[in-house]
Amino acid sequence: MSHKIINVTVRDVRFPTSLEQHGSDAMHTDPDYSTAYVVIDTDCGLKGFGFTFTLGKGTEIVVCAVEALAGLVVGKFLQDIVSDFRGFYRLLTSDGQMRWLGPEKGVIHLATAAVLNAVWDLWARAEGKPLWKLLVDMDPKQIVSCIDFRYITDALTEEEALDILMKAQDGKQHREDLMLKEGYPAYTTSCAWLGYSDQLLKQLCTDALKSGWTKFKVKVGADLEDDIRRCRLIRQMIGPSNTLMIDANQRWDVAEAISWVSSLAEFKPLWIEEPTSPDDILGHAAISKALAPLGIGVATGEQCHSRVMFKQFLQASALQFVQIDSCRLGSVNENLAVLLMAHKFQVPVCPHAGGVGLCELVQHLILFDYICVSGSLSNRMCEYVDHLHEHFTSPVVIHNAHYMPPKEPGYSCEMLESSVQRHQYPDGDVWKMIINK
């Protein structure tokens, strides 16, 4: 079947998570988890669903950017897109006029992610496979043909990428079987948002331990005394053998990051996440160097906006954990580039997830990373946050703190139409009630 794309629609869908402080951190104190939600219609009735993630206000700007990109997509045939996916990625990211708005960063790149996520979802549905399986079954040459290597060949050439994928063919079936049986290891961020009281934190931590969680992340960075008290509380509750990570969401300058994290070293965090500006590669390198003797790594990536940034972080030894994001980078295409670069530099990938739908999407990418690229689970885990999954038609399945591989065709992007309508901003019922209060 031809699958000609005949329409692209985009809606502003927001969830009022700020009312209960879900998602609160040192910099984003009142997020309303939101999406610019894209639906692609084809002439044969098959649809593709995709989105990018936002924090509420400004989602309408991303919606505008998606509408601007839609003209490059309508009228195309799915088969033509995927037979030259690198070319299509470049068509969207290198439009002679629109690239001025980026290039490959900011609102226009979030919009690119939303559109391309929908195209990947459409492709996986057309093939009748979950996205991770579509990728796993692909010939390494075809994988490489989806990646734009422009600006990264000094770190990773097309030939090197192909070589990594060819070498990882060995043992692939065994790893796929293991994932289907046990799933991919996850850690939880749900217990310790910054706006939560100590009492709530204790309750959530107790519940999580009972459900089999062994790796926990705590938000820090607003007040050092609070951080010491909260980290002590969590470390006491989870014991010395479980894993603790801390996340400052870009709160500090470089010297402040080093001294603040040093004060929390006694709680033995595995990593400090986003200690400073996400664009400060040399700053992250300085922090990495200073914290290495304390056994604390630096993790970043949820606001690392392109493969070019990740390249430099890796080249500068500025991070010890790569946190890809399914909606920040240019969809699967650009994430593939980062997974392969991380492997070359031997840095583990521990994806960013949470928000709304990020867990649903990124699980596909990390399954592919394990089965077809890294072949290792050492120091690797995928973030999990327990919010808003009920709005998706194929929500994530967590079993014993592991992501179980999705079975339904597609990229798990589709939301329940009733949820979309109720949460559409500002006219959905949920927002009408809040606005009229």
Active site residues: 219, 352
The 198-237 contact track toward Mg ion, x by CB under 5 A, reads ----------------------------------------
Q: Which is nearer to Mg ion, 48 or 278 (CB)?
A: 278
Q: Cβ 23 to Mg ion, closest distance in Å?
A: 10
Provide the pairing of β-strand 215-219 with 243-247: parallel
Are the CB atoms for 263 and 228 separated by under 8 Å? yes
Instruction: Please report, as residue ranges, which positions from 84 to 103 form the binding site for Mg ion (by CB under 5 A).
Output: none
Number of residue whose CB is nearest Mg ion: 247
Question: CA–CA separation, 58 vs 367, rounded Å?
Answer: 32
Query: How near is the Cβ of 283 to Mg ion at its closest, in Å?
Result: 17
Residues 263-302 contacting Mg ion, CB under 5 A: 273
Task: Pick between residue 78 and residue 231 the one whose CB is nearest to Mg ion.
Answer: 231
How far apart CA 368 and CA 6 sit, in angstroms, is 30
Residue 46 near residue 122, CB atoms below 8 Å: yes
Tokens standing for 5? 């794309």
* Smallest separation (angstroms) from Mg ion to the CB of 25: 7
Closer residue to Mg ion (CB): 247 or 280:
247
Q: HEC string of 24-58?
A: CCCCCCCCCCEEEEEEEEECCCCEEEEEEEECCCC
Cβ-based nearer residue to Mg ion, 115 or 245: 245
Task: State both tokens at 250.
Answer: 């870009």
Residue with tokens 């929500």: 395
Whose Cβ is closer to Mg ion: residue 12's or residue 273's?
273
Do residues 155 and 341 touch, judged by C-beta distance below 8 A? yes
Beta carbon nearer to Mg ion, 148 or 273: 273
Type of residue at 184: Y
Q: Which of 104, 121, 247, 334 binds Mg ion (CB under 5 A)?
A: 247
Residue 83, both tokens: 């037979």
Question: Which token pair is 361?
Answer: 């999407």
Smallest gap from residue 221 Cβ to Mg ion (A): 11
CB of 323 to Mg ion, least distance (A): 7
- 383 sits near Mg ion (criterion: CB under 5 A): no
Helix axes 307-315, 281-291, angle to 10 degrees: 40
Q: Using CA atoms, how far apart are residues 324 and 69, in angstroms rounded to an integer? A: 23
Neighbours of 336 (CB within 10 A): 27
Shorter beta-carbon distance to Mg ion: residue 17 or 333: 17
> Smallest distance, Å, CB 249 to Mg ion?
6
In sign, the C-alpha dihedral spanning 298, 301, 305, 311 is: positive
Q: Pick from 289, 238, 288: which is nearest to 267 by CA?
A: 238
Smallest gap from Cβ 248 to Mg ion, in A, equals 9
Q: What's the CA gap between 146 and 13, in Å, rounded?
A: 29
Span interacting with Mg ion, options 245-253, 368-376, 388-396, 409-417, rule CB under 5 A: 245-253
Distance CA 286, CA 317 (A): 9
Closest separation in Å from C-beta 319 to Mg ion: 13
Q: Which of 327, 330, 336 is nearest to 358 (CA)?
A: 327
DSSP 388: S
423: exposed, middle or buried (Cβ count in 10 Å: 0-12, 13-18, 19+): buried
- Least Cα distance to 88 among 104, 105, 76 occurs for 76
Stretch that binds Mg ion, among 89-97, 239-247, 279-287, 333-341 (CB under 5 A): 239-247
Q: Which residue number, 264 or 371, has a Cβ lying nearer to Mg ion? A: 264
The first and second tokens of residue 259, run together, are 């001294």
Q: Is the distance from CB of 273 to CB of 248 less than 8 angstroms?
A: yes
Residue nearer to Mg ion on the CB measure, 144 or 385: 385
Q: Kindly state the smallest distance separating residue 80's Cβ from Mg ion, in Å.
A: 38
Site residues (CB under 5 A) for Mg ion, limited to 298-327: none
The footprint of Mg ion on this chain (CB under 5 A) covers a number of residues equal to 2
Binding site for Mg ion (CB under 5 A): 247, 273
